[in-house]
Structure 1
């Protein structure tokens, strides 16, 4: 398998920007090249393989049409438009801003050989890693992630994870604990019909960072990916997690910048 950045980017576009990107969707509507995805919990998500050569005027129409779609569904409270750095998308950021989407922190998409991350990582003796499936464990994990990411603790994300586990699609949830308290977490999402699995939701409490917890959770998920027959891993990583993954041999292939719209927010900047 060719692991050069250009080859990995082509694989990313061809295999990971399809229905594989949103396996837990409640509904998907097509609008030109766009996939307008609705998840449980009042979340919308806009993605696409590319914008099919659209010029700035058409891009603006697509943004307006996508937002009209979600405004018509009163259940949807939040919509994320996922923009990739290598796409040809003239006028996209301006159109999103005009329609009330707020740009979030840019992340780097990295990909690489799972074997490079499936290593032994020394941990403080009181730290225990384990895979969780019970409702109580999933809710504890979700609450910790909400806190670390600076979000209000909400049952919605935990509810979505529990529904995802119930589908039996291979998703795995991993936590690091000290005396039964969750101090770190992350999930593994195997991509159906591919050699790839995604690393998502990595979070570690501030007092435990820099002590191997993130690397150990990554290694545990990489070993599981290999057991499931997934030879490649991918992740949209924050500045905090990027060094860990790149040191292990994962390669940056593009960037992704979320833009988020909230119902009731001002309609434009």
Structure 2
């Protein structure tokens, strides 16, 4: 039975924000936030918050000070249904950098899995070791202007130590790795998250993105996951929407960076 948007928001907030225990992170619960602390200087984030508007600026300042004392940069992710509604503007005021807007979208695998089928032929290769992770991240490096070294190391460690929480895939075209993506799982959560999902510019419009998504969707279904989630960019939004994903809200990250 299909459930409402508000019910999905409630479930997602519970399992993937408030109760989130991300692999490789230290979870710290305060009066107003839940911090997820990474081992590295970057990568930490606030997964959930309950911030009264009349104390908003003070709480933001306290969070910045707490992460600075730890020597960590962090992301404060805001969904369009979060309160207070002016939190994004206040985060910018306090020096956090605004990322691009994305669409938080959900696919109910109980009702829409048949919409997610393989398109054109692709050579899909599951990632099993550090060599595969390197190939997956090399695709990301060619597309996104950021450093992936620490992230690559954390993925290798996660794949080795907690393989039940992540699956990664490569797509090859004419023997070359041209796309990559992964899916993450949280214990006891009805959700699984799609990440990466990137194709080199010269190999787009060949069905690689769709096939990469389909492989992860069917794997999640086989593992008993009910909902597939994605933070869709402007480019990927129409693709995933055509496959049955429904937009639940806008989402935007705000980043505080520590200069090393």
TM-score past 0.5 threshold: yes
- Taking the aligned partners of 1:250 and 1:179, their CA distance within structure 2 comes to 30
- Taking the aligned partners of 1:64 and 1:25, their CA distance within structure 2 comes to 26
* Aligned partner (choices 65, 81, 85) of residue 86 of structure 1: 81
Uncovered stretches (5+) of structure 2, i.e. residues with no partner: none
- Taking the aligned partners of 1:44 and 1:14, their CA distance within structure 2 comes to 19
Whether the 8 Å contact between 2:118 and 2:210 is mirrored in structure 1 is: no
Whether the 8 Å contact between 1:116 and 1:249 is mirrored in structure 2 is: no
- Taking the aligned partners of 2:114 and 2:16, their CA distance within structure 1 comes to 21
Q: Give the structure 2 partner of residue 41 of structure 1.
A: 40
CA separation of 1:210 and 1:59: change in aligned 2, threshold 3 A: same
1:81-120 deviations in whole A, cap 9, x for unaligned? 1011111124412321122101010111111223145412
Of 79-88 and 114-123, more deviation after overlay is shown by: 114-123
Whether the 8 Å contact between 1:5 and 1:252 is mirrored in structure 2 is: no
Whether the 8 Å contact between 1:24 and 1:39 is mirrored in structure 2 is: no
Q: Give the structure 2 partner of residue 141 of structure 1.
A: 136
Please list, as runs of the form range in 1=range in 2, the aligned pairs for 1:101-120 lying within 5 A after superposition.
101-114=96-109, 115-120=113-118
SS in 2 for 1:24: coil
What is the aligned length?
255
Q: Give the structure 2 partner of residue 4 of structure 1.
A: 4
Whether the 8 Å contact between 1:109 and 1:237 is mirrored in structure 2 is: yes
* Aligned partner (choices 251, 257, 266) of residue 252 of structure 2: 257
- Taking the aligned partners of 1:220 and 1:6, their CA distance within structure 2 comes to 28
CA separation of 1:158 and 1:164: change in aligned 2, threshold 3 A: same
Q: Give the structure 1 partner of residue 18 of structure 2.
A: 18
SS in 2 for 1:23: coil
Q: Give the structure 1 partner of residue 158 of structure 2.
A: 164
Root-mean-square deviation (CA, aligned residues, Å) is 1.9
Please list, as runs of the form range in 1=range in 2, the aligned pairs for 1:1-269 lying within 5 A after superposition.
1-20=1-20, 22-42=21-41, 43-48=43-48, 50-51=49-50, 54-55=52-53, 57-74=54-71, 76=72, 78-114=73-109, 115-123=113-121, 127-152=122-147, 154-165=148-159, 166-264=161-259
1:131-167 deviations in whole A, cap 9, x for unaligned? 1021111012112112212224x32111010121122
1:56-75 deviations in whole A, cap 9, x for unaligned? x311111111111110123x
Whether the 8 Å contact between 1:131 and 1:175 is mirrored in structure 2 is: yes
- Taking the aligned partners of 1:161 and 1:117, their CA distance within structure 2 comes to 30
CA separation of 1:151 and 1:191: change in aligned 2, threshold 3 A: same
- Taking the aligned partners of 2:176 and 2:151, their CA distance within structure 1 comes to 19
Give the alignment's TM-score, normalised by structure 1. Answer: 0.88
Q: Larger helix proportion, structure 1 or 2?
A: 2
Of 244-253 and 4-13, more deviation after overlay is shown by: 4-13
Whether the 8 Å contact between 1:140 and 1:182 is mirrored in structure 2 is: yes
SS in 2 for 1:169: helix
